[in-house]
Amino acid sequence: MTQRMPSKATMAVFQVERRLQQARYITYHHCTNVLSVLLETLPLEQRELALVRLMLLMFEELDTLMPVALMARILLVLGVQLLEVVSQLLLQMLGAVMLSHWCVGTSDSLT
């Protein structure tokens, strides 16, 4: 029994998927590095807005809520008060999802 080789199109799709996964991994680690710098350098009253922006960036770049949930856990461990941060983030994400749904007709960005 001979094994069939994947087509060039299939191989191209696999390469694109692998590069996308690598880009997401790099983006996630870049964002977590930025997060640690923000927590160390920003005054306490300025952290919330910066954290909301960073979490929203991760949501937009990675197209998933999973890294945002992980970041929320990290922030809780670090003692950051998350109520205001998360409420602002959720409002912004809800607006983005509703806009996407309204413009395109569907939204799969909360998977």
Convert the pLDDT of each residue in 44-72 to its tens digit. 666 666 666 666 666 666 666 566 666 66
Report DSSP state, residue 42: S
Question: Is residue 32 pLDDT above 50, yes or no?
Answer: yes
Position 63 in a domain: yes
Position 110 in a domain: no
Position 37 in a domain: yes
pLDDT bucket at 5, cuts 50 / 70 / 90:
confident
Position 24 in a domain: yes
Q: Which domain holds residue 34?
A: 8-104
Q: Give the sign of the dihedral formed by CA 40, CA 41, CA 47, CA 49.
A: negative
CA-CA distance, 27 to 84, in Å (whole number)? 25
**What pLDDT, on a 0 to 100 scale, did the predictor assign at position 65?**
58
Position 109 in a domain: no
Domains: count for the chain:
1
Position 1 in a domain: no
Which among 30, 28, 41, 35 has a CA at the least distance from the CA of 82? 35
Position 27 in a domain: yes
Position 3 in a domain: no
Residues 6+ apart with CB under 8 A from 47: 38, 39, 80
